[in-house]
Amino acid sequence: MNSTVAGAARFVREVRKALNEGPPAVGVLVIEAEGDEPPVGARMLVHLGAVEGSLGSQEIDRLAVREARALLRAGDGPRTLELTAGCTVYLELYRPADSLVIVGAGHIARPLCTVGSLIGFRVTVLDDRPDFATRERFTEAADVRRVDFTDPFREMELGAGTYVVLVTRGHKYDFEALRDILARDVLPSYIGMVGSRRRVRACFEQLAAEGVAPEVMAGVHAPIGLDIGAETPAEIAVCIAAELVQCRRGGTGAPLREKERVVERWIVRPDEGS
Amino acid sequence: MTEEQAVWTAVEEAATSDRPVVLATIVRARGSTPRGIGSKLVIDPERGLTGTVGGGCGEAEVIEAARQVLLTGTPQLVRVDLTEDLFSWSAAVCGGVFDVFLERAGG
């Protein structure tokens, strides 16, 4: 980065722009190069339509841009690869944080807004009650909106990268919001809805009667959250947040102790007992 | 703010005030490591640390290497090995190995 200190400041600005508002971009960084050609530390930023910076040669740049755009389209995590013999680059995607839309601004919504913000979501809270949908109640939220529950997501996009949690005061509102979401061409990354087994069942029966496909319903996390015996609003927020992380990172949700079984496998061997 | 945003904000603030900092990024990881590829740590001699590349497990080595990078401005690829003997009382017992790329940024 020595040779490009001025360029580096610009790079950082552009990265922050991609992270804060988009559009997404991929950074390419030379981490190993024989004979320092291209220079180790050289960076470029690749957008879908434009490229900023250069790794030093047209040939290397062409290969780097191809790899960067592949990563950009796939939306994958970072990777390190050998671009040419002796030249290794590291690529990473910069895009805006995932968005958590909490429908209903009641008891669960407050701690969920806090935890959701802590774990890196851009949080939006929706409610139709002016006394509840306030910035004072949701200081960590990026956006708090008063909406009409007959059309709660007006002018909102709920595509990939959006996590929707339905926790309104009335199951009818939850149901209508869910129906609205499931009728869309593009579904959010996550849809969760609170409710007892009975309530959830009634909701799915109604949707089935309206012709919603079972596989579409199977994608809805209802009842919401992981089974940790949550009781208070704060505990329920943790149980929902745990499921959000699981959806984002792809864990099983099972206790790690049971997954690894360290004592059973290495400490107490069953055949040694007899 | 996400961890990623916090890290890049720290780098930009350092750049704005013309203050050199080191940006450390995990660029390879295998075995059991506390953090995966892409995890970052900003080492700012004035403001301290932002982000993490794994805490006790190997982070001290990264911070140590950052001194040199801060002084010379030459980027470094540092291998952190966490496969030491479990009873050595070392922090490096997680079981994996990761490579961290350190570069001077900001000033």
Q: Does A245 touch chain B (CB under 8 A)?
A: no
Where does chain A show beta strands of DSSP type E? 25-33, 43-46, 51-52, 79-84, 87-94, 99-103, 122-127, 143-146, 162-166, 190-193
The predicted model gives A65-74 an average pLDDT of 96
Give the pLDDT confidence score for residue A271 in this predicted structure: 65
The predicted model gives A47-76 an average pLDDT of 94
Contacts of A12 (CB under 8 A, 6+ apart): B8, B11, B12, B15, B105
Contacts of A41 in chain B (CB under 8 A): 75, 103
Q: Does A9 touch chain B (CB under 8 A)?
A: yes
C-beta separation of A254 from A260 below 8 A: no
- Nearest chain B Cα to A117, which residue? B1
DSSP string spanning A142-188? SEEEE--TTSTTTT----TTEEEEE--SSHHHHHHHHHHHHTSSS--
**Statement: residue A274 has pLDDT above 60:** no
Give the pLDDT confidence score for residue A3 in this predicted structure: 42
Q: Closest by alpha carbon to A174, among A115, A108, A226, A234?
A: A108
3-state secondary structure of A230: coil
Domain ranges for chain B, please list them. 3-105
- Mind listing the pLDDT tens digit for each residue in B2-23? 899 999 999 999 988 999 999 9
Percent of chain A with pLDDT over 70: 95
Q: Closest by alpha carbon to A191, among A179, A173, A208, A207?
A: A179
Which neighbouring-strand residues pair with B21? B105
The predicted model gives B79-104 an average pLDDT of 79
**Statement: residue A107 has pLDDT above 80:** yes
- Mind listing the pLDDT tens digit for each residue in A188-237? 999 999 999 999 999 999 999 999 999 999 999 999 999 999 999 999 99
Which neighbouring-strand residues pair with A146? A127
Give the pLDDT confidence score for residue A36 in this predicted structure: 85
Confidence of residue A4 (pLDDT cuts 50, 70, 90): very low
Calculate how close chain B gets to A206, using CA atoms only, in Å.
38
Tokens of A136: 């004072």
Distance CA A248, CA A210 (A): 30
- Nearest chain B Cα to A93, which residue? B38
Decide which of A160 and A126 is more confident: A126
ipTM for the predicted complex: 0.91
**Angle A115-A121-A126 from CA coordinates, rounded to 5°:** 80
Distance CA B57, CA B93 (A): 7
The predicted model gives B80-89 an average pLDDT of 72
- Mind listing the pLDDT tens digit for each residue in B19-77? 999 999 999 999 888 899 999 999 999 999 999 998 876 899 999 999 999 999 999 99
Give the pLDDT confidence score for residue A272 in this predicted structure: 59
CATH architecture under which domain A99-249 falls: 3-Layer(aba) Sandwich (3.40)
User: What separation, in Å, do the N-terminal and C-terminal C-alpha atoms of chain B show?
Assistant: 24
The predicted model gives B67-95 an average pLDDT of 81
Give the pLDDT confidence score for residue B106 in this predicted structure: 76
Domain ranges for chain A, please list them. 2-94, 99-249
